[in-house]
Copies of this chain bind each other. A is one copy, B any other.
């Protein structure tokens, strides 16, 4: 729940409407009939539809229908569909964060963070379909950013470095999440189970990707690596873990470099 949900504080006039809504910084109506609906209800209904049928299925009329109201009733609560999307994102971000463990390894904490983010995207496949319009501004989303920063609480990094690493990790999670999301989707769709296994166009690519025009891709297509047909125990999950360890290695190298620079923490600037 947002801060004190009383104030229509002047100070927040300039925030985007939906952001103000998400912080509860909107004056509560005093007169008039009590609303039969509520923003949480609407958002929940919208998320349910999106989880099941994708973001494309979320139309104002469908959300309203699922609640037993008319389309226009939603506009008493939300200024526009875009507002609803912003609220959906923030509501989805309301996940329990793991408790802070004082002596945990930072690598493991980062792994947990990335893993959770990926799982989050698989749970809400529509999340990454909503275009990003700014840095996170809504309360639950910022909690997740805070969690990302928490993984570095004991590392000798300045603010910019920390932000860069959060960006690096969450960006990586986002990419992996998209890939896995697409795979889940393809599995559900069951694309042509007959002669063309999985979602693979391996056969066609083998004809199209010639060694002359694609000297480096060609062998990977031929061996089935590109379309992941021949995966000898190699799964996308492995790929993802692999990439993540590279990033963590990179961070570790950087930390070592910093240590080497100034071994004594109390040295002057």
Write the residues of chain A forming the contact surface with B, with a CB cutoff of 8 angstroms: 3, 9, 11-12, 14-15, 19, 23, 129, 131-135, 137, 139, 142-143, 145-146, 149-150, 152-153, 159-165, 167-168, 171-172, 174-176, 178-179, 182, 186, 192, 196, 199, 201, 203-205, 207-210, 213-217, 219-220, 223, 225-227, 234, 239, 242-243, 245-254
Query: Is B14 a contact partner of A220 (Cβ separation < 8 A)?
Result: no
**CA A133 – CA B185 in complex, angstroms?**
9
Q: Can you give 23 A-B contacts (C-beta < 8 A)?
A: A9-B207, A12-B207, A14-B204, A23-B208, A134-B182, A134-B186, A135-B226, A139-B213, A146-B214, A146-B216, A150-B216, A160-B225, A160-B239, A163-B239, A164-B239, A164-B242, A164-B243, A168-B247, A175-B175, A246-B247, A247-B250, A249-B249, A252-B253
Contacting A146 at CB < 8 Å: which of B149, B215, B251? B215
Contacting A216 at CB < 8 Å: which of B149, B160, B214? B149
Closest to A196 in B: B14
* Given known A182-B134, A250-B249, contact A225–B159 (CB-CB < 8 A): yes
Q: Which residues of B contact A175 (CB under 8 A)?
A: 167, 171, 174-175
| Chain B CB within 10 Å, residue with most, of A3, A137, A160 | A160
**CA A67 – CA B239 in complex, angstroms?**
45
Q: Which residues of B contact A19 (CB under 8 A)?
A: 201
**CA A150 – CA B219 in complex, angstroms?**
12
- Consensus secondary structure, chain A interface: helix
Q: Which residues of B contact A160 (CB under 8 A)?
A: 225, 234, 239
Q: Which residues of B contact A254 (CB under 8 A)?
A: 246, 249
**CA A12 – CA B133 in complex, angstroms?**
39
Query: Is B246 a contact partner of A250 (Cβ separation < 8 A)?
Result: yes
Q: Give chain B nearest CB distance to A187 CB in angstroms.
A: 13
**CA A26 – CA B192 in complex, angstroms?**
21
Q: Which residues of B contact A227 (CB under 8 A)?
A: 135
Closest to A217 in B: B146
Q: Which residues of B contact A168 (CB under 8 A)?
A: 172, 243, 246-247
Contacting A201 at CB < 8 Å: which of B14, B201, B220? B14
